[in-house]
Amino acid sequence: MKRFALKSLLFCFPFAAVFGLPLLILRRSGELVAVNDVIQRQMGSSPVLYGQAYSNPVKAYKLRSVKRRDSAVVALGSSRTMQLREGFFVDPGQFYNAGGAVSAVWDFRNFLGLIGTRSRVKVLLLCLDQWFFNPARPVAWGTGLEEFLADDPALNIIQRNWLSVYRDLVSHKIDFRRLLIDGPRSDVGLNAVLHANGFRNDGSYFYGAAITNPDSPENLDRGFRDTLSRISSGTRRFEWSDVLAQKAIDEVDLLLGDCHDRGITVVGFLPPFAPTVRRAMVESGRYGYMSRIEPALRPSFDRYQFPLFDFTDPATLVATDSEFIDGFHGSERTYARLLLRLASGSPELERHINRTRLVEQLAHAGRFNVEIR
């Protein structure tokens, strides 16, 4: 037995030497916690911030969360949906923010198909990113279904990232001392633990560093520089186009039909850009497709008697640059106002929000965040 133990140690030594430290860091930071376990923890009463740095299973996380929680009101869309919080609603348990689960227009129907027909979703807040309707966006139609279903197992995360962990240690991106010596914490993932970035229990996203220190040089979109460079180069979701992707419009029509058949009320909206960014897009004259989206979608929404709001122009929400986290992500303050507008167009949604309290919360809101009491 002793000989065996010695030889086993000898065999394992090179593996331990290579992977030991990354494994320790990934494990301590919660990077290896399985999505189902995160959901279980977030369904408890104490707050758990979930922000992984080395993997990104957002689609699977949001899908499974919606299935487990079975909330009546669900916000569904890209990262531009993630500022709607359960505290904006009468019964917080009845809302879940599935923002981040959708990266293209066909993801909506995939998502709804996967949550099943037995789901209790009654109101769907549908965030329709403008670039979903841009034919110049380089995305292969219909891809990405597997991301809803796939797990990212621990072994995969270690194999993929062990070298990055060493790199990040050398470049001091990982605070080794804080991670390994400080006591146990409830937050999950390196981003959550070190930078306070991550999904809250209700699925909304808390931007830690970006809102506590928005003028830090580490904030890549300080003064919307990054977004404006995307506009000038026509890249990374800001591809130029004057025409609309009719296929995407048709897809939304199918989605609305599905929702109607399932008895789900849809409240659709095109999310806002920061005023400076919006102005730059208009002045460039290269985003003609954006003004065509709402008129193209309107007949479908009208047919099913679902409301649709176009907040592409931030003036419709009286939003200012200072309350935007970056060029195309409004803050909770922006989205609280947005929710009030959505509710005014949908009696079904109006029943789920406490207008008086929300107005009061807005009155006391900070530059970015709304304090939930």
Partner 1 sequence: MLFNSLEFLVFFFVVSVGYFLLPHRGRWLHLLLASCYFYMAFIPIYILILGFTIVIDYLAGILIERAQGRRRRAFLIVSLCANIGVLAVFKYLHFLNANLTLLFGALRLRYPIPDLDIILPIGLSFHTFQAMSYTIEVYRGNQKAERNFGLYALYVMFYPQLVAGPIERPQNLLHQLREEHRFDYDRVTDGLKLMMLGFFKKVVVADRLAAIVDAVYNQPVGHSSASLVVATVFFAFQIYADFAGYSDIAIGAAQVLGIRLMVNFRQPYFACNIAEFWQRWHISLSTWFRDYLYIPLGGNRLGPWRRYSNLLVVFLVSGLWHGASWTYVVWGGLNGLFLVLGVWTAGIQEQALNAVGLRAGGRGSILFHRLFTFGLACLAWVFFRARSFHDATWVLTHLFSDPGSFAHPRQLLKPGGLGVPAIDLAGAALGIAALLAIDTVCERRDMLAVVRRQPAWRRWAIYYAFGFATVFLGRFGGAQFIYFQF
**Residues of the shown chain interacting with partner 1 in the complex, contacts defined by CB under 8 A:** 1, 3-4, 7, 11, 14-15, 19, 32, 150-156, 158-159
Instruction: Specify whether the CB–CB gap between 44 and 207 falls below 8 A.
Output: no
> Are 314 and 275 contacting, i.e. CB atoms less than 8 angstroms apart?
yes
* Smaller CB separation from partner 1, 152 or 294: 152
- Answer yes or no: are the C-beta atoms of 307 and 345 closer than 8 Å: yes
CB of 153 to partner 1, least distance (A): 4
Residue 19 or residue 176: which is nearer to partner 1 going by CB? 19
Closer residue to partner 1 (CB): 1 or 170: 1
Measure Cα distances from 32 to 46, 51, 93, 153, 224 in Å: 20, 12, 27, 8, 33
**Shortest CB 118 distance to partner 1, Å:** 9
Q: How far is the CB of 59 from partner 1 (least distance, A)?
A: 15
Q: Which is nearer to partner 1, 155 or 318 (CB)?
A: 155
Kindly state the tokens that stand for 136. Answer: 């110049």
- Which residues does 283 contact at the CB level (< 8 Å), separation at least 6? none
Q: Provide the minimum distance between the beta carbon of 151 and partner 1 in the complex, in angstroms, as a whole number.
A: 4
CB-wise, 35 or 228, nearer to partner 1?
35
Q: How far is the CB of 143 from partner 1 (least distance, A)?
A: 11
Helix (H, G, I), strand (E, B) or coil at 64: helix
Is-contact 86 96, C-beta < 8 A?
A: yes
Element holding 77 (H helix, E strand): strand 73-77
DSSP 240: -
**First-last CA distance in the chain:** 61
Cβ nearer to partner 1, comparing 154 with 282: 154
Choice between 17 and 318, CB closer to partner 1:
17
CB of 207 to partner 1, least distance (A): 30
Report d(CA 54, CA 32) in Å as an integer: 9
Which whole-number Å values give the CA distances from 198 to 49, 92, 207, in the listed order?
5, 19, 7
Least distance between partner 1 and beta carbon 160 (Å)? 8
Query: Residues 228, 231, 236, CA angle at the centre, nearest 5°?
Result: 105
Taking the least distance from each CB to partner 1, the nearer of 3 and 364 is 3
> Phi, psi (5° rounding) for residue 70?
55, 50
| CB of 19 vs partner 1, minimal distance in Å | 8
DSSP state of 1: -
